[in-house]
Amino acid sequence: MQEMNASLTEKNLFEQAKKAHKMAYAPYSKFAVGAAIEGKSGKIYLGCNVENLSYPVGTCAEAGAIAAMICGGDTIINKILIFATGQELIAPCGACLQRIKEFADDSTTILLANEQGIQKRCSLSELLPFGFVNSELKK
Ligand code: THU
């Protein structure tokens, strides 16, 4: 992981994810998360967490942004920025790392941000060094 110098695209992803986080439906945890993806095409897709009274049914912000990306016609994540407020920087949960893996390539970048801005940039292999792959299932 390394500290970053935010490019224009990354500043835009930051602003969009911050807006998405305001839309979160998180009445149970009260913890709002926003995600913004830049697809290979350059288009941006947003997601926020959507909780449910049946707690495990709730979905993460990353899952929402990935669904929007697929619906919008992109299949490769160039960058994904995750935004939440608070002192502790949050990273995608294990399930979301596997979701990201499905649509990542070698240059996919994961950006972690809080109110102060983008704090970390990571590769997927740093966060998920040994995720699930099975070439047999891809046939
Ligand atoms: N959450 C996300 O949306 N993304 C993450 O990367 C971590 C956690 C959500 C799920 C739940 O609605 C709330 O944060 C508290 O766990």
The predicted-structure confidence for 19-29, as pLDDT tens digits, reads as follows 999 999 999 99
Q: Please spell the DSSP secondary structure of 70-138, one letter per residue.
A: HHTT--SEEEEEEE--SSS-----HHHHHHHHHT--TT-EEEEEETTEEEEEEEHHHH-TT----GGGG
Q: What is the pLDDT of residue 83?
A: 98
Residue 62 appears among annotated catalytic residues: yes
Report the nearest atom of ligand 1 relative to the CA of 48. 3
- Once rounded to an integer, what is the mean pLDDT over residues 105-110? 97
Tokens at 80, concatenated: 């994904």
For the chain, what percent of residues have pLDDT higher than 70?
Answer: 96
- The angle subtended at Cα 12 by Cα 104 and Cα 87, nearest 5°, is 85
Nearest-CA residue for ligand 1 atom 10 is 60
The closest alpha carbon to 110, from 89, 131, 92, 87, belongs to 92
